[in-house]
Structure 1
Amino acid sequence: MKLTNLLKYFYWERIYSYWKESNTKKIISISLFSIIIVGILFSNFIPKQVTLSVDEVAKRNITSNVTAVIVDEEKTEELRQQAIDNVQKVYQEDKYALSNARSDVNYFFSKVSDIIMNEEGIDEEIKKDVETLLIVTKPTNLNLSLDTSQLANYLITTSEEDLERMREVSLEVVTNYMDKPITEEALTNVLNEALNQIENLPYAEEAREVIKIASINVIRPNMIFNQEATERAIQEAKEAVQPVQKTIKSGEIIVREGDRVTQEQISTLEQLGIQRTKSYPIALIGAALFVLLTIWLLVEYMKRYYEKILKNDKQMLLIGLIFIIVLLFTRILTAIEISDRPEINALIGYLAPVAAGSMTIAILIDNRLAYFMTMLLALYVGLITTGNQVFFAITAFVGGTVGVYRVSKLSQTSDLARSGVYIALANIITITGLSLIAGNVNLDMLLIGILLGGVSGILSAVLMIGALPYLESAFSITSMIKLLELSNPNHPLLKRLLLEAPGTYHHSLLVGNLAEASAEDIAANPLLVRVGAYYHDIGKIKRPEYFVENQRGFENPHEKIAPALSALIITSHVKEGVELAKEARLPQIIIDFIEQHQGTGLAKYFYSRALEEDREGNISEDSFRYEGPKPQTKEIALVMLADAAEAAVRSLNAPTPENIKEMVTKIIKEKLNDGQLDECDLTFKDLDIISNSFCKILDGVYHKRIEYPDTIVREFEKRREHDGDNDN
């Protein structure tokens, strides 16, 4: 029994350790995500209405549920065939045809001459050789009046002069006819014309017969058929024929009950998406391939630009969940029939709440990533919806993009509600523009489409606002909405800071303004910077009187204690701030500001005092440094610099623009030389931008006020007295 329990333990332990591996979880999660998306996508490819075959009798009327322009394939094919028939064959000239034909004539007579040369009488062997030369090789209507035996006897006994005369005439006939273009198709006619001409020559019958044989056998086509060029011309003619289009109106009957189904009707039904000829496995494979392709695109995109998010299992799970929820909503909406009219139901794709997913990703994860996700979601909307799929995809993309833009710069929670209005307006403009581009504007359908687009914008905002709190809580994410809540002065910690350490409170507000002013210019999050600055010194609530900004009219308690103890009290405000933040359940991203805003900096004033009092050299610099860690992000580093710069400039006796600039530059250099900025990604260009921004704001805050002359003061007092008398 113990052995069995031990084996079970190792079995489950092995499964658990396998599951804990990050790559394993990613593979399983991606596989599950792919299966769900394929299921949603494939559900739209399952045949919904009919599967007809040619010559089948229709059992009911089949109507179109959309207005669409389709291709009349039968008419288009007919026009293509006409174009092919009109294409003339392409020929290429044979420049050597005539010379070869003349050579063959010369060869014929030369051969006859060689055979009969120096022979007397008629020898049977000689006669057979001559008869061989007199065989007609071309199929014509040539009917020789004399047989080859008679012609052979004639040639053997004829004179050399007569042979030469027959050769010249044959060459003349061949040249006359082969100077003109001759194709394979025209050859028979040319040969017959040549025979008729020879028949009318003023020569003996035997001589005409020999000339006929010598000429007909060598006349050939001098225009060679170019098959490749002809096929190319046929293809060009086919491609030049534009598809014949016809418009199918919504509600139009395609196949009537009781009629035999034609191939043309099946083609129409397929183009309208009513007839599905593809099999389930093929559709499933297609859906799976498309899903895998989009997942690959997403992973490659994130590898290049968002590697940290790709390695964060929680954030990747959140992206997948949002993606699935949006597609499920879209699929459910497209399955609903809101009217008895098919053309109205076909517009339901405009309700796809892509903007809800886009805005949620922008708020919870990253607004730039949200733009890419919007594009992918729009592609899926085009596949899931029926009818004007391209219009639905374009509208979804535009609405989602506008939504991301509207929430990327939130300054108050009411901006969330307003984003729905902007999305609705973008949808309405897009739908109107696309309808005008299509050219077949139906005012009723356009108004319904506009209504659905407007509803989609408002619905997206409602869904996003409703889902945000749950997703924030479930995935432990601090969104811009949460940051806006934390920036509210009525937050318990900020109220305590105001009441118990008012100097620190106002210092924090000024630090927030300083840091926020330059955040956007260095690609940092302005809202996060501002909220982090509000809470960075929250630990000073514990002992406010030990910090100079709260010592208004009171004596300095540090004068009565040792420098080491003073340094401990000052540096401990970081640890105490972290404790207060955790008790108040502030997000970790804000706790990081409290913990890192001083880095490992040195409490210089108390360290200097300690050095003055130390006579034995036992003072360690480490005892006067903050515990850290150093700032890990641009936002925290920005607050560190703003914190130090504001405190330093406040201490200036004469805060002129020159002195302020000198002090700010000094503070930034000290932090840089001390290595406090080593672990964040601020650049020298960023530091220059920060310095200029700080100087501009601090100069406005601490500029010298103009003193009014005594005469002006007395004049103001007289006016106040005069106004008081008039009131009485």
Structure 2
Amino acid sequence: MKKFRWEVIYFMIAVMLTFFVISSGDFFRKKIHIEIGQIASETIEAPFQVENEIATERKRNQLEALTPDIYKMDERVLEKGIANIELLFDYAEAIKVTAIPQEHGVSPIQTLQSKSPIPLYEDEYKTLLGMSVNRLHSLEQICINLLTNTMEEGIKENENKALDVRAKLEKTDLSTVEQKIAYEIISSQIKPNLIVDKEATALAKEEARESVEPVYILQGERVVEQGTRVTEEAYNVLNKIGYLNIDDSEVYTQYIGVGILIILAVLFLYRSMKYEISNTSLNRGQASLIFILYILSLGIIRMVLMGDYIYMPLAFAPILVAILIHKDIAIVMHLILIVVAALTHKADSVFIIYHLLAGLISISIVAQMQERKQTMVNALLVGLLQTLIFISLNMLVGISLSTQLMLKGVEAFFVGVIVVVLVVGSLPLWEAAFGFITPIQLLELTNPDQPILKRLLIEATGTYYHSLLVANLAEAAADEIGANPLMARVGGYYHDIGKLTCSNYFKENQVLDNPHDYLDPQTSADIILSHVTSGIELADTYKLPKCVKDMIKEHHGTSTAQYFYIKAKNIEGEEVDIKDFSYKGPKPQSKEAALIMLADVVEATVRSMQHKIGTEVTVEDLVRKMVKQKLDEGQLDECPLYISDIEKIIDSFTRMLKGMYHERIEYPERKGK
């Protein structure tokens, strides 16, 4: 119930503060009452890039009007004109060579006039009938040729080609009278043969409209200036950026929508915190850190409300979470912060894409950093990538490469560098405040120049090399079962530092006599058992992290110093209390501590039995025996190891130990004379 209470408190505070930040941002900015034609009482600048739709539409309409119509030629117009000319001359020739009109009491001219598809004057019909057949054919061909040449060039509506026809007729061998008749025939058949292709024209005009780039009001650009009249364009832009007053019902609807989004986002973050890492929930310290960093990020989002989006260090908190807790939770947190920032700042796509890419890249680079000396290299890399993202996104939306844009890119570079430096620089603060251990800190602890390790090498050389072997065994097994290999290695290095207080009482450090030969079993057991408590005291002295102290405390669990317990029973009988010969524990609570326990006992056993390996027993037999013993004693009951992990650990230990204590060939002695 206690855990549930603080989780609910964190959740409610996060939701309320998020709602406050968004509702006080640009999305719910104070509205103004103004109409088209009124005088603006204040200067209003665009808080983000927004399209001027009216200006864009005006440009589109202008380009559409300038796009010419597309025509197609109607071949039937020419064909009909040629047919009419041919019919006229066919009738003229037929009337000329026959006497049919005279038989019916009608003059040839009247007959031709009634039959002709081309209207001419009476004297022109008379002239045609007075020509020879050959001359008629010649005139017919000239009319057809000139009509064809003129019509093939294409004629639009209201286009006059009469002068062209006159000029062409003057170049022929026709007489003046014949030219006049030919002109009347041809001009009567010249009709527009180019008609508008409606589909092609509509498509061309649509393509012209689509080619127009939108007209944008840039962030910080004045939409309307104090004392000037509000135009339709300015009114439309003010409406788009949310400055115009709207009715209360719409405001309430927006509040409800934002509230639901916030609850869903925070729930998503909470679920990621609870189940993301190995299906186990985070402890209170980890949850508290995420809560504090989330609140800190909300404050940053709100403070940078009036500034440029590149100055917002949105990735600061997610990078810290990635280093101190888990990369997946950091990514979820970053996505939620982008949503909150986008709603608060009423952001455009450039804002969102910039922070999305810059944050994910920063998390990926810094979370993999293993040494603090890499800080500046990674900071410069993050800054450079942020600059490239910023410039490329602005070029994508149509902003040309300029000195001003390059200077903004330099500012983005320095923001990225500062964020990385602040993250790495503040790590000791977070580590001390919440007891976190980072990969960077663990790697520093593996440095042989650490004072406690140098003491171990000089004052307890056997224990030092035993610790190295335990560390190697534990690290390899951790990698097999999905535990933390680096933490297992560090635990192996430091688990026996307590032996420094009485190093010569442990077999691996003894050169001459064994001091236990002169001590009673209880005293010997007290000395052996004390190396755990002494190790904790040394860890405090050298300020080792909590996880290392836990592995020192747990690497023997509650097991018994069997040698001295049996020796005491042989002397004193059944009156010996086993608790006096047992470690105080606790049993291993983590996979890494369990691996240190198993590696410790397995390495010591195999080392002590190496003279029998290959003849009486195998390495695998010894490993299985010691692991089974710890299982039977219940020493692994409280750690999150699975049965499947045990077999992987045995296989890993066996493989490693075979390389360390492999069977050797016994060389025969050379027989001399």
Match of 2:329 among 355, 369, 376: 369
- Does 2:585 correspond to 1:628? yes
* Conserved 8 A contact 1:519-1:635: yes
* Conserved 8 A contact 2:387-2:413: yes
CA 1:395–1:671 in 2, change beyond 3 Å: closer, same or farther?
A: farther
Question: What is the deviation of 1:321?
Answer: 1.6
Q: Distance in 2 between matches of 1:71 and 1:367?
A: 42
Question: What is the deviation of 1:589?
Answer: 2.3
CA 1:665–1:509 in 2, change beyond 3 Å: closer, same or farther?
A: same
- Does 2:458 correspond to 1:499? yes
Q: Distance in 1 between matches of 2:613 and 2:403?
A: 69
CA 1:543–1:253 in 2, change beyond 3 Å: closer, same or farther?
A: closer
* Conserved 8 A contact 2:55-2:215: no
- Does 2:300 correspond to 1:329? yes
- Does 2:562 correspond to 1:594? no
Q: Which residue of 2 aligns with 1:649?
A: 606
Q: Distance in 1 between matches of 2:267 and 2:247?
A: 26
Q: Distance in 2 between matches of 1:299 and 1:454?
A: 33
* Conserved 8 A contact 2:565-2:581: yes
1:341-356 residue pairs with structure 2 within 5 A? 348-356=308-316
CA 1:278–1:74 in 2, change beyond 3 Å: closer, same or farther?
A: farther
Could you tell me which amino acid in structure 2 is paired with residue 663 of structure 1? L
* Conserved 8 A contact 1:354-1:399: no
* Conserved 8 A contact 2:456-2:497: yes
- Does 2:246 correspond to 1:246? no
- Does 2:277 correspond to 1:319? no
CA 1:425–1:601 in 2, change beyond 3 Å: closer, same or farther?
A: farther
Question: What is the deviation of 1:374?
Answer: 1.7
Match of 1:515 among 454, 463, 474: 474
Question: What fraction of aligned residue pairs are identical, expressed as a percent?
Answer: 35
Q: Which residues of structure 1 form unaligned runs of 5+?
A: 1-19, 80-240, 337-347, 710-728
CA 1:447–1:520 in 2, change beyond 3 Å: closer, same or farther?
A: farther
* Conserved 8 A contact 1:398-1:426: no
Q: Distance in 2 between matches of 1:673 and 1:422?
A: 53
CA 1:270–1:467 in 2, change beyond 3 Å: closer, same or farther?
A: farther
Could you tell me which amino acid in structure 2 is paired with residue 297 of structure 1? F
CA 1:323–1:243 in 2, change beyond 3 Å: closer, same or farther?
A: farther
* Conserved 8 A contact 2:56-2:214: no
Question: What is the deviation of 1:555?
Answer: 1.5
CA 1:698–1:22 in 2, change beyond 3 Å: closer, same or farther?
A: closer
CA 1:682–1:567 in 2, change beyond 3 Å: closer, same or farther?
A: same
Q: Distance in 2 between matches of 1:451 and 1:272?
A: 28
1:518-557 residue pairs with structure 2 within 5 A? 518-551=477-510, 553-557=511-515
Question: What is the deviation of 1:598?
Answer: 0.8
Q: TM-score, normalised by structure 2?
A: 0.65
- Does 2:262 correspond to 1:291? yes
- Does 2:236 correspond to 1:267? yes
Q: Distance in 2 between matches of 1:22 and 1:507?
A: 42
- Does 2:597 correspond to 1:640? yes
Q: Distance in 2 between matches of 1:422 and 1:655?
A: 54
Could you tell me which amino acid in structure 2 is paired with residue 271 of structure 1? K
Q: Secondary structure at the match of 2:215?
A: strand
- Does 2:9 correspond to 1:38? no
Q: Secondary structure at the match of 2:214?
A: strand
Deviation digits for residues 472-514 of structure 1 (CA, Å, limit 9, x no counterpart): 3333434444434444444443343333222212222332232
Q: Which residues of structure 2 form unaligned runs of 5+?
A: 62-208, 669-673
Deviation digits for residues 517-541 of structure 1 (CA, Å, limit 9, x no counterpart): 3323422222322222222112111
Could you tell me which amino acid in structure 2 is paired with residue 593 of structure 1? M
Q: Distance in 2 between matches of 1:63 and 1:691?
A: 70
Q: Distance in 1 between matches of 2:466 and 2:562?
A: 20
* Conserved 8 A contact 1:352-1:381: no
Count of aligned pairs between the two proteins: 514
* Conserved 8 A contact 1:71-1:245: no
Q: TM-score, normalised by structure 1?
A: 0.61
- Does 2:383 correspond to 1:424? yes
* Conserved 8 A contact 2:395-2:401: no
Q: Distance in 2 between matches of 1:443 and 1:704?
A: 73
* Conserved 8 A contact 1:270-1:277: no
CA 1:542–1:377 in 2, change beyond 3 Å: closer, same or farther?
A: same
Match of 2:564 among 598, 606, 619: 606
Q: Secondary structure at the match of 1:324?
A: helix
* Conserved 8 A contact 1:358-1:401: no
Question: What is the deviation of 1:376?
Answer: 1.2
Between 1:348-357 and 1:541-550, the stretch displaced more is: 348-357
Match of 2:517 among 549, 559, 577: 559
Deviation digits for residues 266-314 of structure 1 (CA, Å, limit 9, x no counterpart): 22233245656577965666654443332232233334446865662x4
1:574-593 residue pairs with structure 2 within 5 A? 574-593=532-551
Q: Distance in 2 between matches of 1:385 and 1:261?
A: 25
Q: Which residue of 1 aligns with 2:619?
A: 660
Question: What is the deviation of 1:686?
Answer: 2.3
Question: What is the deviation of 1:705?
Answer: 8.7
Question: What is the deviation of 1:588?
Answer: 3.0
Could you tell me which amino acid in structure 2 is paired with residue 580 of structure 1? L
RMSD between aligned alpha carbons?
A: 4.1
Q: Which residue of 1 aligns with 2:363?
A: 404
